[in-house]
A and B are shown apart, each in its own frame.
Chain A
Amino acid sequence: MMVSGTTCQEFTENANDYLEGEASWSDWARIRFHLWICPHCREYLEQMDLTRLLLQTTPPQDVDPEVKEEIMKRFKQWSD
């Protein structure tokens, strides 16, 4: 849906900036209008939002043994 120069493909490249509140004012307005007319991009945005939520509620991973060893080495140097 090619309105005001915003396409679906363009939207997918700007969706995260929009979510983060980092889109410029003119991009923001174009995106709002596009979302109003395009259900597919509304779905896409919802999925990006859920993805962000999932990521932000995922606890940081345990480090694997190999890396832990490297960290221990660094820790010793660090505490000297």
Chain B
Amino acid sequence: MEEVVQEAWMSFLQSLDRFEGRASVKTWLFRILVNRAISRSKRENRTTPMSALGTGDDGPAVDPARFANSMWSSPPAAWRTNPEAVLANAQLRRIVEEAVEDLPPRQKVVITLRDLQGWSSKEVRNVLDISQTNQRVLLHRARSRVRAVLEEHHRDDG
């Protein structure tokens, strides 16, 4: 019986791509992501359930210490690899995956749906029931953090 359910589950997962525009399926997928975020924050002994989804979303895109009079005092160093090499780099992908895992829950959910799952901004807004501004800010914060982690990596490397 377990195996049957498991097989059904697997094939369902594999066919998710073809479930276009079906709100119920997307809502369900969202719940999975939320549960995942919650179980992780529990494991890490942070605060629990829904309150965990409302924290950690503040903070600047770049450490303010890197600006003087709002201009770069410590500008971003050029990433020495070209875009093709960056995209082909498996290590960078692992770093990106870890960076996403470490994001605050709401940012993690938004960036996972938008970028990893390829949802539109409208779909994400509908499913999460958040405003356009909220969605925009969460995606901005999430991507900015991932960039910062990648920059750190390039700095250590070079």
Residues of A within 8 A of B (CB): 1-2, 7-10, 12-13, 15-17, 20, 22, 40-41, 43-44, 46-48, 50-61, 63, 66-67, 70-72, 74-76, 78-79
Contact = CB atoms under 8 A, between A and B. Distances in A.
Interface residues of B, number: 50
B53 to A, nearest CB: 16
* Interface SS, A side: helix
B8 interface: yes
A2 to B, nearest CB: 7
B61 A13 contact: yes
Interface of B: 2, 5-6, 8-9, 12, 28, 31-32, 35-36, 39, 60-62, 64, 67, 69-72, 75-79, 83, 86-87, 92-93, 96-97, 100, 111-112, 115-118, 121, 136, 139-140, 143-144, 146-147, 150-151
B36 A63 contact: yes
Contact of A50 (B75, B86, B140): B86
B5 A76 contact: yes
A8 B2 CA distance: 56
B116 A58 contact: yes
A16 B143 contact: yes
